[in-house]
Chains A and B, each alone.
Chain A
Amino acid sequence: MAEAAAVREQGARAAPLARPRRAWSWLGLVPFFVFSTAFMFLPVAFLVLGSLRNTEGALTLENYADLSTGVIPTAFANSIEISVVTAVGGGLFGLLLAWSVILGGLPRFLRTALMTFSGVASNFAGVPLALAFIFTLGNLGFVTTLLADFGLDIRDTGFRLTSKLGVEIVYMYFQFPLMVLIIAPALEGLKQEWREAAENMGATPAQYWRHVALPILTPSILGTMILLFGNSFGAQATAFQLTGGTLNIVTLVISSQIRGDVLHNPGLGYALAMGMVAIMGVSIGLYSVLQRRAERWLRA
């Protein structure tokens, strides 16, 4: 065996010029692809195959049809609602905040402070974030008791931190810092010359924003909002800690399915996970397309 291999190797070495070396250069990427396959593609493939089988193991599309039964449609609706609200709300507020420090004429150190804080806040999520808001807006939270001292009981208004609105308020904490981080380069990319050109032609500031700045920024803004949508759609830890798993959203249904087959059909659980991947795929795809459009204006 070893001899045969040695002979073959010699043979290959004898005729090196006949074959372009380039043909084997992809071998350098093998570790990367093997690792990605073992820890990502195989698990996902397992879910795909599982979603196409019924409890007897026969091929079927039934699981996908069953996504319209039980708690699942509401879970998707809730997840989408929370994601849209926090993406649009967080996106608009993040845009305004980035505008206020970059173009709004605030002192320069506030801009540095905001950018640093946004870097931290966009990564401060999950369990500690949920806890921080429980200490703020929970039953005995700081703001709750402060408002109660002024005679306003927020629980009387029907507000619960464990409700959809509560989760939305908490998600905002990592949503709009992300908007600030991503939209800041686009705002900085608005060239002084464009404004001057518009002003020279008699445009008012409103006209400049309406006809020049906003059309340039629109792909960035839309793209980032879609990204925020995905960011919120895939979130699990924050909502879990906040609501103890009682809120009916897709990620929480998946985690209770993992713990104890609450859907009473493994295949349906896999189909649910695939539905989630499909929605994430569409939003990340749209984001990349819009981001590529936005970058045309960012080039120096």
Chain B
Amino acid sequence: MSTGAQAPFGPLGVMRSWLRAGPGSGARRRGFGPPWAWIIFLLGALYFLVPLWATFLHSIKTKPDPFLAYRQVFADPKFLGGLGYSFVVGVLTIVISLLIIVPTAYWVRLKVPRLRPVVEFVTLMPFVVPPVVLAFGLIRIYGGGSPITLASTDVGLNLLLVGAYTILSFPYMYRAVDTGLAAIDVRTLTEAAQSLGSGWTRILWRVIFPNLRTALLSGAFLTMAIVIGEYTIAQILARNEAFGPYLSLLGRSQPYQPAAVSLISFALTWLAMGAIAFLGRGARQRVQVAGAR
């Protein structure tokens, strides 16, 4: 498959669309543009920004100290604990997902291209199985009375949580890695490494991983953004220390702190997306339906 087919999402595609838009679209633009475009854009901007503004206003309603809610949040061990817990879960998810997906995508490309449709189908499955259904199945099959009971201990439940998040990360991780692999000459690099005496582990670790750095990082940031905001699975698996359930409970028990935490959560999402944009990849434009809706 040529990289052309995947152009809109790879680095080449992004470059090409910049080039294409450069001189060509200049001719289309005259003055300030038609009023309709402005009206639509302003409507969209209003809808985007008003809830954020309202949340901000609500978060500083406390008197006399407008930043009391923020102070309380940062002094609350549950806030930092929740963030810390979800961060650790996110890191574990990213590591496991990369350790599984990179060798798999590499192997599919190099050795078993005929299995590509099967692997792609499996990585698409998390779109078909919504998080609530996935968690439902996990808690029942690994619950009490089953041969492997994981859902009765904290360690087991944490394991299930990381497992479920890893599954959720497969669709975009696989796509990010596969697009990354398409941009480098996997076969030549592998043969060069082999002829210099490298084994498979060394090839993957020293040759393939470093060449995929940007693709892997964008997949990792997206995974982190989703894990930190996730609520459904964490709640079903009774992981109340996670950030999502913490915020949900806070939202029902406190007046102003939830607004502060919501804004912080928005800022974190923004950071993760900004990091992806900074990496200069189109990977964030990939379809992403398995998130924290």
Contact = CB atoms under 8 A, between A and B. Distances in A.
Interface residues of A, number: 97
A119 B169 CA distance: 17
A99 B39 CA distance: 12
Contacts of B84: none
Contacts of B4: 299-300
Contact of B266 (A105, A124, A227, A235): A124
Contacts of B11: none
A246 interface: no
A132 B287 contact: no
Given A142-B58, A188-B17, A131 B277 contact: no
Interface in A170-229: 172-174, 176, 178, 181-182, 184-185, 188-189, 192, 227
Interface in A141-189: 141-143, 172-174, 176, 178, 181-182, 184-185, 188-189
Contacts of A7: none
A280 B136 contact: no
Interface stretch (A10-18, A29-37, A58-66): A29-37
Q: In terms of DSSP, what is the predominant structure of the interface of chain A?
A: helix
Interface residues of B, number: 105
Nearest to A295: B5
A44 B44 contact: no
B37 interface: yes
Interface of B: 4-5, 7-9, 13, 16-17, 20-21, 24, 28-34, 36-38, 40-41, 44, 47-48, 50-55, 57-58, 100-101, 103-104, 107-108, 111-112, 115, 119, 122, 124-142, 160, 163-164, 166-167, 170, 222, 225-226, 229-232, 235-236, 244, 247-248, 251-252, 258-259, 261-262, 265-266, 269-270, 272-274, 276-277, 284-285, 287-289, 291-293
A180 to B, nearest CB: 9
Contact of A255 (B9, B232, B269): B232
B288 to A, nearest CB: 7
Given A32-B119, A241-B251, A234 B132 contact: yes
A12 B191 CA distance: 25
Interface string A100-117: 110111110010001011
A127 interface: yes
Contacts of B288: 122-123, 178
